Each structure stands twice: as C-alpha cells, then as structure tokens.
Amino acid sequence: MIEFCGLQLQHPIVNGSGTFDAIAARRAFGDALLADFPFSAFVSKTITLQPRAGNPPPRLWEAQAGMINSIGLPNRGLEGYLEYDLPQLAQLPVPLITNVMGSSEDEVARLVEAIDERDEVAAIELNVSCPNVRTGLDIGADPRSLAALVRAVRPLARKPLIVKLTPNTADVAAVAAAAEGEGADAVSLINTLRATALAPSAKRPWLGGGTGGLSGAAIRNVALSQVAAVAGRISLPIIGMGGIASGTHAVDLISVGAALVAVGTENFRDPCAGSRIASELKSLQIRH
Amino acid sequence: MIEFCGLQLQHPIVNGSGTFDAIAARRAFGDALLADFPFSAFVSKTITLQPRAGNPPPRLWEAQAGMINSIGLPNRGLEGYLEYDLPQLAQLPVPLITNVMGSSEDEVARLVEAIDERDEVAAIELNVSCPNVRTGLDIGADPRSLAALVRAVRPLARKPLIVKLTPNTADVAAVAAAAEGEGADAVSLINTLRATALAPSAKRPWLGGGTGGLSGAAIRNVALSQVAAVAGRISLPIIGMGGIASGTHAVDLISVGAALVAVGTENFRDPCAGSRIASELKSLQIRH
Amino acid sequence: MRTLAPLGRRRVLVSRGDDVGAYRVLQVADPQGPPLPAAGQFYMLATVARWGGGDDERPYLPRAFSFLSARRGKLSFMFEDVGPGTRRLAELDAGEELWLTGPLGAGFRTPHDGRRALLAGGGVGVPPLAALATVLSSHGTRPTAVLGFRDEHHAAGAVLLEDADATVATDDGSVGHHGLVTELLAAELARDAHAVVYSCGPPGMLEAVRALCAEHDVPAQLALEAGMACGFGACYGCVVPLREGGYVRVCVDGPVIDAARLDGVPAH
Amino acid sequence: MRTLAPLGRRRVLVSRGDDVGAYRVLQVADPQGPPLPAAGQFYMLATVARWGGGDDERPYLPRAFSFLSARRGKLSFMFEDVGPGTRRLAELDAGEELWLTGPLGAGFRTPHDGRRALLAGGGVGVPPLAALATVLSSHGTRPTAVLGFRDEHHAAGAVLLEDADATVATDDGSVGHHGLVTELLAAELARDAHAVVYSCGPPGMLEAVRALCAEHDVPAQLALEAGMACGFGACYGCVVPLREGGYVRVCVDGPVIDAARLDGVPAH
Ligand SMILES: Cc1cc2nc3c(=O)[nH]c(=O)nc-3n(C[C@H](O)[C@H](O)[C@H](O)COP(=O)(O)OP(=O)(O)OC[C@H]3O[C@@H](n4cnc5c(N)ncnc54)[C@H](O)[C@@H]3O)c2cc1C
Ligand SMILES: Cc1cc2nc3c(=O)[nH]c(=O)nc-3n(C[C@H](O)[C@H](O)[C@H](O)COP(=O)(O)OP(=O)(O)OC[C@H]3O[C@@H](n4cnc5c(N)ncnc54)[C@H](O)[C@@H]3O)c2cc1C
Ligand SMILES: Cc1cc2nc3c(=O)[nH]c(=O)nc-3n(C[C@H](O)[C@H](O)[C@H](O)COP(=O)(O)O)c2cc1C
Ligand SMILES: Cc1cc2nc3c(=O)[nH]c(=O)nc-3n(C[C@H](O)[C@H](O)[C@H](O)COP(=O)(O)O)c2cc1C
Ligand code: FES
Ligand code: FES
C-alpha cells in the first residue's frame, strides 16, 4: 500500500486522464475489468460544465513513436457526469479522481464545488491546459494566472486538489511553484505537447480540430526533464506521466521525483498496460 | 534560384546550426564536399565570445525516433572563429550564415559587430536559446527580453539578422512578433526541446551536461505546429526545421509557411541529406 | 451482437499465411479467445517483434481488423498492404507472433421480419460479410452477395466469401460486371426489395450503398472504418457524426451502425 | 592514416553473414568504396529496411564499426549483439541492404624506428587489430598479438585475427591463459620493450593497456570507442578529454589516439 494525498493505493500506477474509459472498457471486456483493474486509482476524462461533442474527425494522427490527438474533450457535462458516469465509476474497485476544466474561474469553481460534494470522488484534478480566452495561451502557461485560479478554487474543495500542469510553457517549475503556493495538494504532468499534422497529399491540417497534442514514447524524455525540474522546485507529491510503457520507464520517473506514475497512450497499445507496468515496477524495486 | 533576405540560393535547403561541420566533413570526404555541397547556404555552429570546450561526455542519447544532445556549444570563440574557421568556411561554394550567442547584451553586441564586418559572412543568426543568468529561462522564452536584445543589437548589423527562436516557451508566435517588431530580417525555428535521459541502470542523468535537447523525427510535428503558429503571426521569412528527413517533410513545412527548410539530425544519418531532400523537394514541387 | 473479449491483449501465434490475389490472409491460433465472436466484430493486431521502424518510423499503434472466420480456436484475417502497419503484418508467416485484443465492438444483427439478407461490399470489406454469411448459412439460408473490386487481381478475394452466392463487379471490367457494385445491388433490390442490406467496403462504396438503400427505403447495416488508437473506447478517436447530432465511437458503438443513423459515410 | 570516404552514404549489399563464436561477421560488397581503407578506420552502418522499431523504438542513428578486412571490393565487419542496433545488424544475411558511410576517422600509424608491433585487445576490438595485422604482414612482419575474451565461446573470435601470431586469455580460463590480456602484454614487454602497442577493446581493457604502457614508457596507439551520432565530425558528440585539457572528437581526430595524449580512457 502506498499513500498519496491521504488515499491508500495498491501500487503507484494510475491512468492519465482521457486515456482510459472504464465504462466503455467494461462494455468490451465485461466484469473481468473490475476483477483485474489495471490502475490503483482511476482518473476520469476531463469534465466541463456544459456537455461537449468534441472535435470533428479525424481526431488521431500516428506520429513517430507517438500519436497526436485532437479529441476536443467530449463529455456529458457536469450534470451528465454526475448522473450517468459517476454511479458507474463508483463501482470501480479503486479510488476515483475526477478531472475538471473550465474556461473561467467561475466555471472551475462550480465544477469543483459540485464534484467535491460527492462521496464517490476521492480527489479532484484540475486540467489547466485550457486556453485563456483573453491571451489564447493555456491558463497553466503563466504562473500568475494559475496562482489566481488555484487561489479562487482551493477553498471550495475539501478533497485533495491536484493541478495538472501544461508542458507548453517556458518554465513549468515556476507554474508548479505557483500551484504549491496557493495550496494545491499535488501536481501532475506532463500533458501533451502542442503538435500539428498535415494530410498526406492535400497540404491542409489532417486533424479536424486543427492542431493537437503529441503523446507516447516520443515525449518520454521531455516528461523526464519536466518532472525533474518540478521535483527540484516544489515539495508536493507529483504524478508523473508522458510516454510511460514499461516498469523501467516508471522507475526512471520515480527516480527523478514522481510519487505516482500515470500511463496514457500505452493503454491504447495494451489495455492492461497499467497492471503490467505495476508488476514490472514491483520486480525492479524488489531487485534493488 | 530563390531569394532569402537578399541572398540568392540554389534551393531552399540549408543546415541547422551545429549539425554539420563543413571543415570536419572536408577532412572526411575531401573536396568532393565542395563540388557537391548539400546545402544552399551554410549555417555555422554557434560561436561565443570566449572559446568553449563544451560539456563533459557522454553528450548523446538515442531517444525514440530522435536523439538528445548535450554538446554545450564547443567552439574556438570569436577570435578563433575569425582566424581559423572563417577562411576555411569562405571556401564553401554557398553563402555563409554565422550563428552567434552571448550571455549578455554586451556580449551579443560584440559578436554581431565583429561578424558583421566580415565580407565572407552573408548573414547573422542569433541563437537565443541561451539561459538568462537572472531567470534561468532562455532569453528567447520571453517576448520582452528578446525585444530588448534585438533592439540593442539590430543597429550594429548591416547584414541580414535572423533570430533563432527557442521552442521552450509558452507562445513562440509572441516571441517571433517581438523579433519582427525590433527589425529582425527573419526567424528560424525550432531549436531542440528540453529533455533528460537517465543512465540505463544507475538512475542518474546520462548526459554529462545534465539535461539536453531532443531533436529528430520525434519533434517533427511540434516543429510543424510552431512554424505554423509563427507564420500566422508575422510576415518575416521563416527558416523552418525540426525532424526534417525527406522532401515530403520539407513540403509540409513550406506549406505551413517556411521560406527555407533546415536539416539537422538527419545529416547524421545521411551526410548528403541536404542534397537528397532538395532534389526530392524539387520533384514534388514539379509534380504539383 | 457483441461477444465479450478476454481482458487485455494476448500473445498469439500465426499458424499460416496465404496470398489470395492482392490480399494476404493470416490464420492465427487463439485458444484463449471466445469461440464465437459475432460477425462484424474486430480485433486489434500488432506484431510482437518490430512493430515500428517502418515508413516514417511507424507503426506505433495497433491496427483494427475484422475477422474473416473463427473456427475451432483459429481466427483468420484478410488485408491489403496499404501502409506501414499492413505492410508489417503482410510479412508474417507461420510461427511468428502477434499481440491480439478482441473481439471488439458490436457486430451485425441477423435479419428479422422475413427480410432476406443482401450482402454488398468489396475490397477489404469482405471479412465481416464472410463471417456473417457463415452465420446465416449455418442458420439455413445461404445469402446473396454482390462484391466490387478494382480488378481481377483483387477480385480473387471473392473466394473468401465461402458461404454466400456472390456476383462480382470490377472497376476495369477484367472480371464480372464492368461497373459498380451498387449497380448489382440496385438490380437485386429491383428483383426483391424486402431485404436488409449488410455492407462493408471503402467509404465511397459504403456511402453509395447507404444512399441507394435510403432511396429504396431498405434498412442497411454498415460496418464502418475509422482511424483507431485503442479499439475499446479509451481514446475517443474513432468517431463518426450522427444524423441526430453528436458523434459515436466506431469501436464501441460500431463498427456496425444502422445506416438510418447516418447522414452520410465520412471519407475517413 | 586516413583514406578519404566517397561523399555521403551508399547503399550496399550484404554478400554473406557468418557466426563466429559469440560474434557475427558480415561481408558486404562495396564496389564504390576506396580499395584501401586504413587499418583502424571505421564505417557508419544502418540497415535500409527497418532501422528502428527495436527495444524502446530504437535504433535511430547509424552505428560505427571498424572494418575487419577490405579485399577486392568486399568489406567485412564483426560485432556482437549488445543492443538494438547490433541486434538488427546481426539478423542480416546475404542479399539484404545496408547504408554505409566511410571509411572514416584516422587509423593506426605503422611502427617506425625499428620498434616491433604488439597488438593487444579483445572482444569486438579485434577488427582494427586484424586490419592492422594484414597491413604489417603484407609489409613482411607478421605481428604478435595478445587477445582477451570473456570465455571460450567469445575466444572463437580470435581466428579472425588471421595475420598475427595470437595468444589468448579468457576471464574464466576456459581456453588459453586464465586471466587478463594485460598479463600477457606485460610478459611480452618484459621480453622486449622496444615495441609500439596497438590496442582496441572494451574501455577497462584499453585503460589497463594504457596504464601498463605508460608505466613501461612504451608508445601506444589506442583505437577508442565513443557514442557517435554522425561519424564525420558533424555533431561533436563523440569526444574524449585530453591530458592537455579540452576534448577531441573520436570520429575525426581518432578513433586511433596516441595514449600519451590521454590521462585515462573514459568508461564510455
Ligand atoms: C473496425 C475496422 C475493421 C477493419 N478491418 C479491416 C480488414 O479486415 N482488412 C483490412 O485490410 N483493413 C481493415 N481495416 C482497416 C485497417 O485497420 C487499416 O487499413 C489499417 O489501419 C491501415 O494501417 P497501415 O499502417 O497499413 O496504413 P496507414 O498509413 O496507417 O493508414 C492508411 C490511411 O490512414 C491515413 N493515414 C496516413 N498516415 C497516417 C498517420 N500518420 N496517422 C493517421 N492516419 C494516417 C490515410 O488516410 C491513409 O490512407 C479495418 C478498420 C477498422 C476500423
Ligand atoms: C570507431 C568505433 C568502432 C567500433 N567498432 C566496432 C566493431 O568493430 N564491432 C563492434 O561490435 N562494435 C564496434 N563499435 C561499437 C558499436 O558502435 C556499438 O556497440 C554499437 O553502437 C552499439 O549499438 P547498439 O544499438 O547495439 O547498442 P546501444 O544500446 O546503442 O549501445 C550500447 C551501449 O550504449 C549505451 N546506451 C544505452 N542506451 C543508450 C541510448 N539510448 N543512447 C545512447 N547510448 C545508450 C550504453 O552504454 C550501452 O551499453 C565501434 C564503435 C566505434 C565508435
Ligand atoms: C487521446 C488522449 C486524450 C486525452 N484526454 C485528456 C483529457 O481529457 N484531460 C487531460 O487532462 N489529459 C488528457 N490527455 C493527456 C494524458 O492524460 C497525458 O497527460 C498525456 O497523454 C501524456 O501521457 P502519455 O504519453 O502516456 O500518453 C489525453 C491524451 C490522449 C492521448
Ligand atoms: C548535436 C546538435 C547540436 C546542435 N548545435 C546547435 C548550435 O550550436 N546552435 C544552434 O542554434 N542550434 C543547434 N542545434 C539545433 C539544430 O540546429 C536544430 O535547431 C534542431 O536540432 C532541430 O532540427 P532537427 O530535428 O532537424 O535536428 C543542434 C542540434 C543538434 C542535434
Ligand atoms: S479507437 Fe479509441 S475510442 Fe475508438
Ligand atoms: S560522431 Fe558526430 S562528431 Fe563524432
């Protein structure tokens, strides 16, 4: 058992938000999924206040040792989540972390308040890779605007508050320090790197959403660098992620300062990547 | 012939700074290099005011579809460059672009002034991926500090001034706009992405320099995204680079707004990558 | 129709590989899989060795393939080399290993209210139709099929539809009807429109089938394709727009979708 | 000694592949290369097909290999599977294709002032010594060599040093002298120290050879290894620190470096 923000977890491997849909997976694999759940905590897809259909297809591009997605955060919206998704997610055998995003302080506040009320939820993750409507930059790109956001919503949550940082910034450690300064309980990183793909012959963007985010093996060493930089600056626990596909990769991230390791794109290649990596990690840790 | 900042070039393919040493390549391949020079202009390695030995080895890590380098800008320093390198580089059959970097405005100014005097040099490229001693961030990460730097050195150069942007920033287009606003003649991007590698068994940094920069195929779609963002914001010509390994990749970068395309890591895999890509590009352009 | 998949991917052995015209047919031993996947379901495949390093350093993600047949613990798949993933798979021979996840998605629903099954498809759309024909034949009615191919070399793939009476059309007229598969389908519908059409094929063909069926007011079930990363609903990458608005994921809500739910079949 | 390389990489055909103990020996046809690369020079190799997609999606960069022999337009190389690049190369057989650049770097300088050549090395350090032995033998003096290997299976590689009189040591004593190659070298130097030592092997061995020669004041030329990206001076990645301060690039200033220029041989 390991402890993370007061949660008791079986092992340090969780999923990255938006890279595993436990409800859909149960439709495909049945209740075997519950008996052998790959992660020690489940992180939901990002939930927004209003329902979102997501971006027009195509939404995927296979890149060099990675992929680019432009999914566009489809979700049922807060109400739909509470009504349809939450009861099903509550059946999972692990603690539930709900990831939320809003395009204004007020939206985030309403999300955090509503989620914080629900006993089924163990912790809240705040996705700040959302463009600031004024600057066009991610809210999480700038330490000051992030600090303001965390300051505004922190008092609204009794549950642990995890801030999921954006990697598309000059100084991720400064942003992490801002989150720490305003009372966040943990940070998670890295989210996808901004990337574009062009349609093979027509030279226009391939992705229906225009640009997208790069994930998978290609970003592993960038993640290692950003997690190390953040760990060198703050003392909050860190959920590290980015291209993790094996126990060795998890050991690497832990050795630079991650408390938990999240698996994202590798879930698509191996639906049980979480349990596999947890057991590879365990045998590596025993050996040392 | 194509025109770039007043230079007449045979084709749009140049090299990325620090990824081709024409003097060393001539030792290996002899004068055949001059007869069949792979690039339409030659960009020098970054030159600093004082000589630098570079970082302790190991300096290289092979990553997923890419590599991480921590070379540390070894060079003979300004005087050594002018005395030893320049006469040899002047023998190349193409225009010479000299890349410089300084850790203060004053250093950069001295470099630009001295290089600008030399007839052998056709243009100056300013590498701003150098950490600001005060903030630790790249000077080029922040639009305001970059604007100040360009403002200070622009009047010192009669030759075209190209600003090589850093990709490790929240808003590369804003930085490019700052360069444009202060009179730069062109911008080039992307430089390497900050990345770390750990030694296979010992969990300490592999690279002698600690962290390094990711280049090659893995960053190609990040480059496409940043070049597109910059092209959407400024009207200066752009030298695009990052993971270019084929004529198709070059067409992609040109289609999102690059005027020239630089080849970096691919030179290591194919010493004549420049000419190969130029001819692949030509046949693709003829076909369309 | 949905048969549950065992949890996770499993390592399976290729038991044979054959070239059939322009196509490669792989047979794999899947002793741990369910004996009866539903016709129209699919599996995610990747090779165990060297998945990656092809064109532009791809493939990285697994690839989706409908099964062609499932008999006595053996699955077969059919595909054409169209990119780095199918190229790597096409190299495989007996004894090599695959990662396999599935069966995934929802397959075809068999006809009710006395309608006859009309199978219409072509190219690498043959597998789900072949699997469906096997089910229908085992229920006592060998279905009629119309299949379109580019040319004779591709039309050789028609033999894989063992359990149907198939008529073939080719684009170049090198074998069978010179023209489109929808022309054959229109003739069948003219003969007897109390039918349900099952279709799988390239997007253009599927769209033509959808439009034709809509015109004749004949229900159709379309086995769609979409770029996929995961195949089990995790990535939300594989969506198609619905007539009613919004999107559904082809991998969990399809790949078989009622034509009536779509305004059109997207080009990719 | 430096033979110029033709500009750029060229596509060459593997003409045979053999296993020799723990090693793989590849012969490639290089009709466009110079007939006489200098002993100790190296080539950058990568396969044309599927370079990538191995462990952790590697290899991506080409790999450096000293040539073992160069005769009548055929080059041979010897290596052991130690990672994704050598693993992929070890799979190759006659008829497959390589990208090849070279010969690169500076090779050994032959002895002057009457010193005898003493070759000391082991493991995959055999190739440059074998190439040097061929040159020396053709000049009329078959050199003496001492070679160290892990065990008998590896020591089989000693036969590749055709043109020298070699004594072998193994770590486990399974064949030859039970102990270190430097023990054999010390004995040779004790017998006659008017020699120049040529050495190539794992860093620990090279360092021991360097230290021994320094102690006996015997000149030594060491063929170094270093992680390389390009092999022709482009990346500045392959440096070793010099005694005088600063670094040199192993690929253009080496791989053969006078031991006197080094304070020690770096571990990687
Ligand atoms: C449910 C389902 C069942 C299927 N059944 C079969 C079957 O039985 N037999 C069969 O042959 N095929 C089948 N397919 C299609 C098969 O999955 C694709 O042909 C396969 O994924 C192609 O992979 P590839 O690597 O060979 O080619 P890719 O190059 O990956 O794909 C070819 C197409 O993808 C697009 N593309 C090109 N580059 C990229 C990129 N970098 N990223 C994203 N898209 C790109 C282009 O439109 C291109 O035409 C099925 C697909 C689905 C969804
Ligand atoms: C001039 C020269 C001549 C050579 N001649 C020969 C020869 O004749 N025969 C021969 O067998 N070998 C020779 N080598 C060594 C050969 O080049 C290496 O063994 C080869 O590059 C290993 O590649 P790999 O992919 O198999 O293993 P890698 O895993 O690339 O390399 C193995 C070593 O590299 C380090 N490493 C591990 N992972 C990485 C990574 N991701 N990035 C960077 N380094 C990493 C570790 O130290 C590891 O032990 C020569 C090297 C040089 C420089
Ligand atoms: C298809 C896809 C969808 C994602 N959706 C979300 C999301 O809804 N919210 C979020 O915070 N991160 C999202 N992410 C980012 C991942 O959680 C993770 O940070 C990133 O993919 C890096 O990890 P990886 O390389 O292991 O995939 C998504 C990533 C992918 C690939
Ligand atoms: C080994 C190496 C050394 C480099 N040295 C420099 C340098 O001295 N100055 C500079 O501006 N950029 C330098 N770069 C960055 C490249 O010029 C280029 O911007 C980057 O590698 C992306 O292009 P690529 O993916 O094609 O390599 C270097 C890159 C590499 C790989
Ligand atoms: S392929 Fe991932 S959700 Fe359908
Ligand atoms: S390997 Fe690139 S400089 Fe030596």
Please give the ipTM for the structure prediction. Answer: 0.96
Ligand 2 geometric centre to CA of B139 (Å): 36
For residue C105, which of C16, C231, C18 has the smallest C-alpha distance? C231
Give the span between the Cα atoms of C105 and C256, in whole angstroms.
Answer: 8
For residue D173, what are its two tokens?
Answer: 């004593």
Locus of tokens 């012959």: A201
pLDDT number for residue B73: 96
* Residues of chain D found within 8 Å of residue B271, distances taken between Cβ atoms: 7-9, 101, 230, 232, 234
Q: Rounded to 5 degrees, what angle do the CA atoms D21, D27, D31 make?
A: 165
D56 part of contact set with chain A, CB < 8 Å: yes
Check C247 against A66: CB less than 8 A apart: no
Q: How far is C60 from chain A (nearest CA, A)?
A: 6
* CB B216 within 8 Å of CB B192: no
Q: How far is D60 from chain C (nearest CA, A)?
A: 9
pLDDT number for residue A130: 77
- DSSP symbols for D140-169: T-PPEEEEEESSHHHHGGGGG-TTSEEEEE
Q: What is the largest CA-CA distance in chain C?
A: 52
* CB A172 within 8 Å of CB B193: no
Q: Which of C47, C124, C206, C222 to mutate to test the pocket of ligand 1 (most atoms within 8 A of CB)?
A: C124
Q: What is the DSSP letter of A209?
A: T
Q: What range defines the domain where residue A146 resides?
A: 2-54+72-194+214-287
Identify the band that residue D56 occupies on the pLDDT scale cut at 50, 70 and 90: confident
Q: How far is A147 from chain C (nearest CA, A)?
A: 31
* Residues of chain D found within 8 Å of residue A280, distances taken between Cβ atoms: none
In chain D, the percentage of residues whose pLDDT exceeds 70 is 100
Average pLDDT, chain A: 95
Question: Which ranges constitute the DSSP H helices of C110-164?
Answer: 126-138, 152-155
pLDDT number for residue A133: 63
Q: Is the distance from the beta carbon of residue C64 to the nearest atom of ligand 5 less than 6 Å?
A: no
pLDDT number for residue B59: 97
CA distances from D109 to B257, C109, D137, D180, D195 (A): 52, 79, 14, 26, 13
Burial C107-146 (b: 16+ CB within 10 A, else e): bbebbeeeeebbbbbbbbbbbbbbbbbbbbeeeeeebbbb
- DSSP symbols for B191-259: -PEEE--B-SSS-SBSSTTSSEEEESGGGHHHHHHHHHHHHTT--S-EEEESS--SHHHHHHHHHTT-S
User: Would you call the peptide bond into C255 cis, given omega within 30 degrees of 0 as the criterion?
Assistant: yes
Which residues does A9 contact at the CB level (< 8 Å), separation at least 6?
Answer: A1, A2, A3, A40, A41, A94, A95, A260
Ligand 3 geometric centre to CA of A268 (Å): 11
Hey, which residues 147-186 in chain C have their CB within 8 Å of chain A?
Answer: none
With respect to CATH, is domain D116-261 assigned 3.40.50.2300? Answer: no
Answer yes or no: is pLDDT of C59 > 70: yes
Which residues does D15 contact at the CB level (< 8 Å), separation at least 6?
Answer: D27, D28, D29, D74, D94
Question: Which ranges constitute the DSSP H helices of chain A?
Answer: 22-29, 32-35, 77-80, 86-89, 105-116, 143-153, 172-181, 220-231, 247-255, 266-269, 273-287
Residue type, B130: C
Hey, which residues 9-48 in chain B have their CB within 8 Å of chain A?
Answer: none
Domain topology for C10-104 = Elongation Factor Tu (Ef-tu); domain 3 (2.40.30)
CA distances from B177 to B125, B130, B163 (A): 17, 19, 11
Give the span between the Cα atoms of D85 and D99, in whole angstroms.
Answer: 13
pTM of the model: 0.97
* CB D250 within 8 Å of CB D228: yes
Q: Is the distance from the beta carbon of residue D26 to the nearest atom of ligand 2 less than 6 Å?
A: no
| Torsion angle (degrees, nearest 10) of CA A15, A16, A19, A24 | 40
Q: Which atom of ligand 4 is nearest to the CA of B244?
A: 26
pLDDT number for residue C267: 87
Give the span between the Cα atoms of A167 and A135, in whole angstroms.
Answer: 17
For residue A8, which of A137, A123, A113, A146 has the smallest C-alpha distance? A123
Residue type, D202: P
Hey, which residues 196-255 in chain B have their CB within 8 Å of chain D?
Answer: 216-217
Nearest protein CA to atom 1 of ligand 4, as residue: D235
Give the span between the Cα atoms of C134 and C89, in whole angstroms.
Answer: 25
For residue A180, what are its two tokens?
Answer: 């720490």
Check C229 against A67: CB less than 8 A apart: yes
B38: domain CATH number is: 3.20.20.70
If DSSP codes are grouped into helix, strand and coil, which group holds residue A7? strand
User: Would you call the peptide bond into B237 cis, given omega within 30 degrees of 0 as the criterion?
Assistant: no
Q: Is the distance from the beta carbon of residue B99 to the nearest atom of ligand 4 less than 6 Å?
A: yes
Q: Considering the domain boundaries, does residue B168 fall inside one?
A: yes
Ligand 6 geometric centre to CA of B209 (Å): 17
* Residues of chain A found within 8 Å of residue D56, distances taken between Cβ atoms: 217
Ligand nearest the Cα atom of residue B263: 4
Which phi and psi angles does D128 have, rounded to 5°?
-65, -30
Give the span between the Cα atoms of A160 and D109, in whole angstroms.
Answer: 69
- Provide mean pLDDT across the span D159-167: 96
If DSSP codes are grouped into helix, strand and coil, which group holds residue A118? coil
Among B138, B211, B222, the residue with its CB nearest the CB of A214 is B222
Answer yes or no: is pLDDT of D65 > 70: yes
Q: Considering the domain boundaries, does residue B65 fall inside one?
A: no
The CB density around residue B225, as the number of other CB atoms within 10 Å, is 28
Q: How remote is the C-alpha of C170 from its chain's centroid?
A: 19
User: Would you call the peptide bond into A239 cis, given omega within 30 degrees of 0 as the criterion?
Assistant: no
Q: Do strands B42-43 and B60-63 pair parallel, antiparallel, or not at all (unpaired)?
A: unpaired
If DSSP codes are grouped into helix, strand and coil, which group holds residue C109? coil
Bridge partners, B96 (sequence order):
B42, B121
Give the span between the Cα atoms of C229 and B28, in whole angstroms.
Answer: 45
Higher pLDDT, D261 or D113: D261
Check A62 against C58: CB less than 8 A apart: yes
For residue B280, which of D101, B270, D99 has the smallest C-alpha distance? B270
Which residues does D140 contact at the CB level (< 8 Å), separation at least 6?
Answer: none
For residue B9, what are its two tokens?
Answer: 């070039």
Residue type, A245: A
Residue ranges of chain A whose pLDDT lies below 70: 132-134, 288
Q: Any idea where the domains of chain D sit in the sequence?
A: 10-104, 116-261
If DSSP codes are grouped into helix, strand and coil, which group holds residue C56? helix
Return the H-helix or E-strand segment holding A13: strand A13-15
For the annotated catalytic residues of A, the residue numbers are: 130
Locus of tokens 């960053």: B219
Check C268 against A267: CB less than 8 A apart: no
* Residues of chain B found within 8 Å of residue A136, distances taken between Cβ atoms: 171
Among A170, A193, A251, the residue with its CB nearest the CB of B142 is A170
Q: Which atom of ligand 5 is nearest to the CA of C228?
A: 1
Ligand 2 geometric centre to CA of D85 (Å): 8
Number of alpha helices (DSSP H) and beta strands (DSSP E) in chain B: 11, 14
Answer yes or no: is pLDDT of B288 > 70: no
> Number of Cβ pairs closer than 8 Å across A and C?
125
Q: Considering the domain boundaries, does residue A203 fall inside one?
A: no
Q: Is the distance from the beta carbon of residue D268 to the nearest atom of ligand 2 less than 6 Å?
A: yes
Answer yes or no: is pLDDT of B122 > 80: yes
A65 part of contact set with chain D, CB < 8 Å: yes
The CB density around residue A256, as the number of other CB atoms within 10 Å, is 23
Identify the band that residue C15 occupies on the pLDDT scale cut at 50, 70 and 90: very high
Ligand nearest the Cα atom of residue C254: 1
Q: Considering the domain boundaries, does residue B227 fall inside one?
A: yes
Give the span between the Cα atoms of A165 and A128, in whole angstroms.
Answer: 6
pLDDT number for residue D52: 87
Bridge partners, A68 (sequence order):
A61, A214
Check A62 against C236: CB less than 8 A apart: no
* Number of separate domains in chain B: 1
Identify the band that residue B5 occupies on the pLDDT scale cut at 50, 70 and 90: very high
Check B222 against A195: CB less than 8 A apart: yes
Q: How far is A217 from chain D (nearest CA, A)?
A: 8
B233 part of contact set with chain A, CB < 8 Å: no
Q: Considering the domain boundaries, does residue A169 fall inside one?
A: yes
Ligand nearest the Cα atom of residue D251: 6
For residue A227, which of A191, A179, A268 has the smallest C-alpha distance? A191
pLDDT number for residue B133: 63
CA distances from D50 to B219, B265, D12, D53, D91 (A): 20, 18, 15, 7, 11
Which residues does C259 contact at the CB level (< 8 Å), separation at least 6?
Answer: C197, C209, C210, C213, C214, C219, C220, C221, C222
Q: Considering the domain boundaries, does residue B155 fall inside one?
A: yes
For residue D14, what are its two tokens?
Answer: 């593997």
* Residues of chain A found within 8 Å of residue B257, distances taken between Cβ atoms: none
Sign of CA dihedral B35, B38, B43, B44: negative
Among A36, A63, A267, the residue with its CB nearest the CB of C230 is A267
Residue type, B9: L
Q: Considering the domain boundaries, does residue A144 fall inside one?
A: yes
The arrangement of strands across the sheet holding B238-241 comes to B13-15, B260-263, B238-241, B186-189, B161-164, B121-127, B96-100, B42-43
Long-range contacts of D84-90 (CB under 8 A, 24+ apart): D84/D54, D84/D55, D84/D56, D84/D58, D84/D59, D85/D46, D85/D54, D85/D58, D85/D59, D87/D54, D87/D55, D88/D47, D88/D50, D88/D51, D88/D54, D88/D59, D89/D24, D89/D26, D89/D45, D89/D47, D89/D63, D90/D24
Q: Considering the domain boundaries, does residue B204 fall inside one?
A: no
- Provide mean pLDDT across the span B57-84: 97
Ligand 2 geometric centre to CA of D63 (Å): 7
Which residues does A13 contact at the CB level (< 8 Å), separation at least 6?
Answer: A38, A39, A40, A250, A260, A261, A262, A263, A274, A275, A277, A278, A281
Answer yes or no: is pLDDT of B29 > 70: yes
- Provide mean pLDDT across the span B239-267: 97
In chain C, the percentage of residues whose pLDDT exceeds 70 is 100
pLDDT number for residue B200: 87
- Provide mean pLDDT across the span D185-212: 96
Is the backbone of residue D101 left (phi > 0), alpha (psi -120 to 50) or beta? beta
If DSSP codes are grouped into helix, strand and coil, which group holds residue B47? strand
Q: What is the DSSP letter of B81?
A: I
pLDDT number for residue B68: 98
- Provide mean pLDDT across the span C215-233: 97
